[in-house]
Amino acid sequence: MVIWLLACSGQIDLEPEAEVVPTMKASHLLIRTSLDLRGVRPSADEFDRVEADPDALEDLVEDYLVDERFGGRVRDIYSEILLTRSETFNVTAESYNLPDQAAFEQALGDESLRILSTVAEEDLPWTEVVTADWTMANEVTSQMWPVEYPDGSSGWVRSSYTDGRPMAGVLSTNSLWWRYTSTPSNANRKRANHISRIFLCNDYLVRPIDFDRNVNLLDDEAVSDALRNDPSCVNCHDSLDPLAAYLFGFFHYNDQNPLEITNYHPERELLYKDYLGVEPAYYGTPGFTLEDLGESIAGDNRFVECTVETVYEGLLRRESDLADADALTGHREAFLEGELTMRALMRSVVQDEKYQAGTTDLDGFVPKKMATADLLATQVEGLTGFSWTYGGYDLMRSDRYGYRTLAGGADGTNVTSTATSPNTTLLLVQERLSQAAAWYVAESDAQGGDKLFTEIDFSETPDTDRDAMVRQVQALHWAVFGNRVDADGPEVEANLELWADLYAIEGSTVDAWAGVVSVLLRDPDFLFY
């Protein structure tokens, strides 16, 4: 972030970037944008449209931006930043006499993320995420928390807290402060740092510190004195502590007591005087309530720049660096011109030449991105209709019973960043997911479905109708990879040989086709896009 700002202000001379010509095939770029904007692979009709006219991709991008699944992608991208989809909360469903622990955990993790996706879906300015006077609630959170859930509603809807808390969008949510708790000695400083990290891309914990090793960390008075007088401490705490002072309404003496952590405590707002000895302020600007904090963040240029950086890195699946300064500046302008709507920003990023680049040796490009655990699950479900669940848990989004971190995901607590390259456990998870999904779709289509098997009715064998089987293999490659394969090509021959081997073993056309699909879903071109 600092390098970007210096570069934009002319304090650093940037070397001219090499000219980049997007080389990704139109069908493959279609896959990338479809996965990134709505979490599923394109339909056969969409592939056909882009094959006939590559410029049709622009119209499809607009369709994807208003797709009902767009909000889910915003939540998935920002779940890597907020890290609220955790399974290590201090209370359980039983604490609230609720019967479903899986629904309980999912609801807790999604409250803040639902605010973000609602702002995105309703084309509200992104500043609303820290200034909104509403939250999101569903049937679960409305039974736990003091919220006014509209009568007759179902699912996630706009709601209001009724315990008198100042409203500042995500900053006022239980889900955020249940995820980021505070000890008495820390006095909300960790929480303040996460506000800075999430909304300003300024993580105090990555700053270099030359700490005086003679300070006795077991002596509260010595530590307090160092925070006020040691230059190494003051460098951070002069701005961090005033941020922390805003948060004492969420200060809990016992974070395992459901009644205490459920409600906001206005009577504790002034505890900053005892614990911090500083007044609430935002980088030198005095304030008092969370509303003041939200307005200060919304008016900070770093908030816009951080949003751009977060989305850019989330869609390119890599960290930005000095070479991205011009691109980030361009996307910032598009974001501002689009009245700070998320659709305007994401539209700009997917049109970026670096986003669209195909195979290239230039530094700073990611020709192929590895699907996250979330994205692996949604694209499999989109193709096959299969959702991997157990006991109410989505196994690709859970670690209690599932495989999220094994599949390269982050659990928000022990693993806080997603994998960008494959490992052994990821490939094992992909294998089992592919097998389960392949059997599901083969059996479903054999009973009259039309998810993948559009050219056969499962009565065919190479002896009775080889031509139909060839067409089906071609259709599978088109649906899964966006690749046209020749009827006499090696892909068709290999897939039909596999089919014949499986049929000889199982004696079932359904099982044989399931085996073929499972292999396609395990292909590296399915994991990387």
Q: Nearest-CA neighbor of 235 among 260, 215, 212, 265?
A: 212
Last residue of a domain, one of 270, 298, 326: 298
In contact, 452 and 384? CB cutoff 8 Å: yes
Taking the mean position of all CA atoms in its chain, how far away is CA 81? 7
Same domain, 439 and 502: yes
Residues 6 or more apart in contact with residue 403 via CB below 8 angstroms:
373, 395, 396, 425, 429
Q: Quick check: is 140 in a domain?
A: no
Q: Quick check: is 151 in a domain?
A: no
Q: Can you tell me whether residue 366 is helix, strand or coil?
A: coil
Same domain, 454 and 513: yes
Same domain, 488 and 388: yes
What pLDDT score does 15 carry?
45
Q: Output the CA torsion 94→96→99→101 (10° steps).
A: -70
Same domain, 289 and 307: no
Q: What is the DSSP string of 273-284?
A: HHHT-S--EETT
Q: What is the DSSP string of 39-92?
A: SSPPPHHHHHHHHH-TTHHHHHHHHHHTSTTHHHHHHHHHHHHH----S--SS-
Count up the domains in the chain and report the number: 3
What pLDDT score does 412 carry?
85
Going from the C-alpha of 413 to that of each of 83, 180, 183, 317, the distances in angstroms are: 8, 10, 17, 21
Same domain, 496 and 441: yes
In contact, 105 and 399? CB cutoff 8 Å: no
Q: Quick check: is 98 in a domain?
A: no
What pLDDT score does 140 carry?
97
- The Cα 402–Cα 390 span in angstroms is 8
What pLDDT score does 228 carry?
64
In contact, 419 and 426? CB cutoff 8 Å: yes
Residues in the chain: 529
Q: Quick check: is 249 in a domain?
A: yes
The 10 Å Cβ neighbour count of residue 200 is 18
What pLDDT score does 210 carry?
60
Same domain, 313 and 335: yes
In contact, 357 and 369? CB cutoff 8 Å: no
Pairing of strands 285-286, 281-282: antiparallel
What pLDDT score does 413 carry?
86
What pLDDT score does 7 carry?
40
Same domain, 286 and 305: no
Same domain, 279 and 253: yes
Domain of residue 191 covers 174-298
What pLDDT score does 24 carry?
84
Residue with tokens 């409203």: 167
Q: Quick check: is 418 in a domain?
A: no
Residue with tokens 């990134």: 36
Last residue of a domain, one of 263, 298, 333: 298
What pLDDT score does 217 carry?
57
Which ranges of 201-263 would DSSP assign to H, the alpha helix? 220-229, 231-244, 258-262
Mean pLDDT in consecutive groups of 10 residues from the start of the chain, 529 residues = 42 45 81 98 96 96 98 97 93 95 95 98 98 98 95 94 97 97 94 98 81 59 60 73 97 94 97 96 96 98 98 95 96 98 98 84 66 97 97 94 95 90 96 98 96 96 96 97 96 98 97 98 95
Going from the C-alpha of 369 to that of each of 246, 421, 476, 528, the distances in angstroms are: 40, 9, 22, 5
Q: Quick check: is 459 in a domain?
A: yes
Tokens of 446: 């054999």
Q: Quick check: is 40 in a domain?
A: yes
Q: Quick check: is 317 in a domain?
A: yes
Beta bridge partners of 370: 528
DSSP assignment letter at 127 = G
Same domain, 226 and 307: no
Same domain, 286 and 330: no
Same domain, 188 and 283: yes
Same domain, 209 and 293: yes
